[in-house]
Amino acid sequence: MTADPSAQPPSAATDAACDSGQQNLVEAPFPVVGVAASAGGLEAFTQLLHHLPTDTGMAFVLIQHLAPDHESLLSKILARATPLPVHEVQHGMSVEPNQVYVIPPNTKMILAEGVLQLSPREKVFGKYMPGDAFFTSLAADRGHKAIAVVLSGGDGDGSLGLKAIKAAGGVTFAQCEDTAQFDSMPHTAVATGKVDFVLPPARIAEELATLSRNPLLIDPLPVSGPSAAPETGDALSTIFALLKAAMGVDFSRYKPNTVDRRMQRRMLLYKLEQLEEYAQYLQTHPAEVKALYEEILIHVTSFFRDPEAFEQLKERVFPVITQNKSADAPIRIWVAGCSTGEEVYSIAISLLEFLDAQAAAPPIQIFATDISEPAIDKARAGLYAENQMVDVSTERRRRFFYALEGDRYQINKSVRELCVFARHNLGSDPPFSNLDLISCRNVLIYLGDSLQKRIMPIFHYSLNPSGFLLLGTAESTGHDADLFTLVDSKYRLYAKQIAGTRPLLSFTPSRYPSARVSDRLSTSAPPEGFDLQKKVDQLIASQYAPTGVVIDDKMQVLQLRGDVDRYLRLVSGAANFNLFNLVRDGLLVELRAAIYQAQRQDAPVSKHGLQLEEGSPVRGVRLQVLPFKVRC
C-alpha cells in the first residue's frame, strides 16, 4: 500500500489491509515479526530472543508500552541479551532481516513499504493501542509474511490487529497465560479465536525458527491456476470436494488467490510443504476441513467502516426509500455477507437516527445473512469487546449499547429485534425480495467471475424499483452495469436500473412432487355450494406444501402435515406432544433456537444446511419457522 495508514484508527487500517485485496500482489522480500508487550513483556521478549537463532531471515519489531516522559533504556537492555543488532527506531528507518527494532517512548509506529514511520501516540477512546496500530499496518505491508506475537501485558492491546494478520494469511502467537506475569494481553488475544500458537516464549522462538525454513514462507505464493475448475483427481479438486461434501460450499468458484492464501496458511501451521500432503491430511482429519472452511470465509468487518458511506445512506438512500411508504409497509434491507454483525447494526443505527426526524416511522426489517454459522451466532448475540468499538461514538454507545462487565458491549435489544440473522449461500440459495436496500460490501472481491455474474442479476431481481445496492470501495457491478445506475463512485452506491434487461434467474429446484394429471380441476362449472378456494388450497397443500407441524406458544403440537416420521418420533411412556420431546436429536438444537428467534422477533426464521444423521444416507434439511396469530 502506498497510503499512510497512520491517520486511520486500527479498524480502518484492518479494512484497508484486508478488503483491498492488494497486499499480496507484490511479494514481500522477508517476514517481519511484530511483538506487542506491556507489563512483564520485557522479560518474556528477552527469553524469546535468547532462544532465537541469529539467521532466521526475519526482522523483529517490539511494540512495548513505555512511559511517555522517560528516556527508554530498552534497546540497551535487549542488546545485552542477543547478538542480533538492536535499534531504537527513528522515523523513516527501513527494516532489515536478522535485526531487532524497538519503538521509542510516546510514539505510534507503523510499517509502510518496508519503512518504519513514527507519529505522536494517540488514545482510542481513552486507551493507547500501539500494538493494534502496528499489527494492522504489518498485515498490509507483509501479507502472508506478517507474523504477530502477543506477550505479557495488562490490557487488550494487539488482539484487534491479530485479526488483520490472520486475514492477510500471516501467523499469530500468544504467550501461554501460566508463564505471563500479566495475562490480560495474551488472554484477550486468545479469546478472539485468531491465535494459532499459545506457547511460552522459548517455544515461540523455536516455532519462529521452524517457520523461517518453510518454503511456503520463503518462496512467492504459487497460484492454483485460473478460475476454471481443477482437473478431477488432483490435490486441489480433492480439497474442494471435501469442503463441498462437508460444508455444502463450492470454493472452486472463489478467486484462486483467496483460496491459496488460506490453504497455505494452514499448511504452515502443520509444517506441510506440498498441497498433496495437505489434501491427505484433510481426508484423515475432518475437523481441519471445517477449520479451513472458516478460514476461507474471511471475517473482517467493523462498525461504521468508511463513515462517509453511512452518511451517503442518510442523504441519498433513506429519503428515497421512506418516501411514500405507508405506515404499515416495512423498510426492507438485506445485508449479504454480514460476518459478525457490525455492518448490520451500523446500518440499523444509521436508519434509526435518520427516522428520528420522521413524524411516523415505518416498520423496519433487516435480513442479515452469511455462509458461516459461527459468524451468524456472534452477530445474533450482538456482543463486542472494547477494541471492536473504536469507531462507535460515545453518544451511539450510550443510546444503542449496553455496557457490560469486562469491557464488553451488547447492542440494545430494540435494535437486535429489527434484525433477522440466517445462514445463506449467495451462490445457490433463493434470495429475499421486495427490498429497498442491499448492502454487500467486501464480499465480491473474494468471488470468481462466474459467481459474480450469477449474483448481480439476483440483486437486481431482489430490489424494489426504487431500491439501492451498496458495494465495497474495491468492487463494482462488473459485467452487469446495465442493471444498475451509479449514484456515488467513491462508495460504490448504485440504484436499480428499471430499463435494464430483465435477467433470467434459476434457483435450486423444488424437491416436492408435481401435481398429477388426475388431480387437475375440471373445467366444468362447480356444483352449487362448492368452495372452489378451499378446494384449491387443499390441492396445493397436499401436493406442494413441505412437511410441517403447527404448535402453540407452549410448544404443544396441534396439527401434523405431510410425512413427519423422518423428523419426529414417539417415545415410550406417558403421551407427550411437546414438540421438543418429539423432534429427532439431530434437529433439536437448531429448531429450539429458530423458534425462540421467531417468537422474539415476530418474523420468519430459516435454517439451511442442517443434517439429519439418523438412518442412511445422511439427509440435508431446510428448516423454516413461520409465526402467526389467531385473531377472533
What is the pLDDT at residue 85? 94
When pLDDT is averaged across residues 294-310 and rounded to a whole number, the result is: 87
What is the pLDDT at residue 494? 94
Average pLDDT, the chain: 81
Residue with cell 437486535: 416
- Band of residue 589 on the pLDDT scale cut at 50, 70, 90: confident
Q: Give the separation between CA 512 and CA 312, rounded to whole angstroms.
A: 44
Element (H, E) at 107: strand 107-112
- For 17-31, 517-531, 546-560, which range has the lowest pLDDT when averaged over its residues? 517-531
User: Would you tell me how many other CB atoms lie within 10 Å of the CB of residue 414?
Assistant: 10
Contact 16, 8 (CB under 8 A): yes
When pLDDT is averaged across residues 450-456 and rounded to a whole number, the result is: 86
What is the pLDDT at residue 631? 57
Residue 65 cell numbers, joined = 508500552
- For 37-41, 509-513, 597-601, which range has the lowest pLDDT when averaged over its residues? 509-513
What is the pLDDT at residue 90? 93
Q: Is 292 exposed, middle or buried (0-12, 13-18, 19+ CB in 10 A)?
A: buried
- Band of residue 172 on the pLDDT scale cut at 50, 70, 90: very high
Helices 41-50, 201-212: crossing angle, 10 deg rounding: 50
- For 298-302, 507-511, 559-563, which range has the lowest pLDDT when averaged over its residues? 507-511
pTM of the predicted model over 0.85: no
- For 340-354, 384-398, 529-543, which range has the lowest pLDDT when averaged over its residues? 529-543
What is the pLDDT at residue 91? 94
Q: Does the fold of domain 307-496 match that of domain 5-218?
A: yes
User: Would you tell me how many other CB atoms lie within 10 Å of the CB of residue 410?
Assistant: 15
Write the DSSP assignment of 256-271 as a string of letters: HHHHHHHHHHHHHHTT
When pLDDT is averaged across residues 53-74 and rounded to a whole number, the result is: 85
What is the pLDDT at residue 398? 94
Write the DSSP assignment of 425-477 as a string of letters: -TTTS----SEEEEEE-SSGGGB-HHHHHHHHHHHHHHEEEEEEEEE-TT---
Comparison of pLDDT for 564 and 515, the residue scoring more? 564
Helices 159-167, 10-19: crossing angle, 10 deg rounding: 10
Residue 182 cell numbers, joined = 500479566
Q: How far is CA 604 from CA 211, 344, 422, in A?
A: 49, 18, 10
Comparison of pLDDT for 610 and 202, the residue scoring more? 202
Q: Of 11, 65, 372, 480, which is the active-site residue?
A: 65
What is the pLDDT at residue 217? 83
Comparison of pLDDT for 177 and 126, the residue scoring more? 177
What is the pLDDT at residue 292? 92
Q: Is 585 exposed, middle or buried (0-12, 13-18, 19+ CB in 10 A)?
A: exposed
Q: Which of 164, 163, 179 is nearest to 48 (CA)?
A: 179
Q: Give the separation between CA 344 and CA 57, rounded to whole angstroms.
A: 43
Residue 361's contacts (CB-CB under 8 Å, 6 or more residues apart) are 355
Q: Is the pLDDT of residue 561 over 80?
A: no
The domain limits of the chain are 5-218, 235-296, 307-496, 517-625
Q: Is 572 helix (H, G, I), strand (E, B) or coil?
A: coil
Write the DSSP assignment of 171-238 as a string of letters: EEEEE-GGG-SSBHHHHHHHHTT--SEEE-HHHHHHHHHHHHT-HHHHSPPP---SSSPPPTTSHHHH
Comparison of pLDDT for 151 and 329, the residue scoring more? 151
Q: Is the pLDDT of residue 615 over 60?
A: no
Q: Of 11, 15, 19, 38, which is the active-site residue?
A: 38
Q: Give the separation between CA 38 and CA 129, rounded to whole angstroms.
A: 11
Q: How far is CA 346 from CA 103, 108, 135, in A?
A: 35, 28, 25
Active site residue 51: no
Write the DSSP assignment of 577-628 as a string of letters: -BHHHHB-HHHHHHHHHHHHHHHHHTS-EEEEEEEE-SSSS-EEEEEEE---
What is the pLDDT at residue 201? 95
What is the pLDDT at residue 438? 96
When pLDDT is averaged across residues 445-459 and rounded to a whole number, the result is: 86
Burial of 230-248, coded b for 16+ CB within 10 Å and e otherwise, reads beeeebbebbbebbeeebb
What is the pLDDT at residue 401? 95
When pLDDT is averaged across residues 279-292 and rounded to a whole number, the result is: 92
Q: Give the separation between CA 267 and CA 356, rounded to whole angstroms.
A: 52
- For 117-126, 161-170, 186-195, which range has the lowest pLDDT when averaged over its residues? 117-126
Q: Is the pLDDT of residue 440 over 60?
A: yes
Write the DSSP assignment of 492-536 as a string of letters: TEEEE-TTSPPPP---PPP-SPPPPGGGSPPSSPPPTT--HHHHH
Q: Is the pLDDT of residue 522 over 50?
A: no
Q: Is the pLDDT of residue 518 over 50?
A: no
Residue 364's contacts (CB-CB under 8 Å, 6 or more residues apart) are 330, 331, 333, 348, 351, 352, 418
Residue 262's contacts (CB-CB under 8 Å, 6 or more residues apart) are 169, 292, 295, 296, 298
Q: Of 132, 157, 429, 480, which is the active-site residue?
A: 157
When pLDDT is averaged across residues 293-312 and rounded to a whole number, the result is: 87
Active site residue 144: no
Element (H, E) at 354: helix 342-355
Residue 115's contacts (CB-CB under 8 Å, 6 or more residues apart) are 92, 93, 94, 95
Q: Give the separation between CA 359 and CA 380, rounded to whole angstroms.
A: 30
Q: Are strands 146-150 and 32-37 parallel, antiparallel or unpaired?
A: parallel
When pLDDT is averaged across residues 409-431 and rounded to a whole number, the result is: 87
Q: Give the separation between CA 2 and CA 577, rounded to whole angstroms.
A: 65
Residue with cell 424437491: 511
What is the pLDDT at residue 262? 87
Q: Is the pLDDT of residue 234 over 70?
A: yes
What is the pLDDT at residue 499? 58
What is the pLDDT at residue 244? 87
Q: Which of 20-29, 196-205, 554-563, 597-606 has the highest mean pLDDT?
A: 196-205
- Band of residue 622 on the pLDDT scale cut at 50, 70, 90: confident
Domain 307-496 carries which CATH code?
A: 3.40.50.150
Q: Give the separation between CA 87 and CA 103, rounded to whole angstroms.
A: 9
Is the peptide bond between 617 and the residue preceding it cis, with omega within 30 degrees of 0? Answer: yes
Residue 402 cell numbers, joined = 449496553
When pLDDT is averaged across residues 46-53 and rounded to a whole number, the result is: 93
What is the pLDDT at residue 536? 53
Domain 5-218 carries which CATH code?
A: 3.40.50.180
- Single-letter amino acid, residue 471: L
Q: Is the pLDDT of residue 264 over 60?
A: yes
Residue 140 cell numbers, joined = 498490509
What is the pLDDT at residue 534? 52
Active site residue 65: yes
- Band of residue 505 on the pLDDT scale cut at 50, 70, 90: low
Q: Are strands 557-561 and 548-551 parallel, antiparallel or unpaired?
A: antiparallel
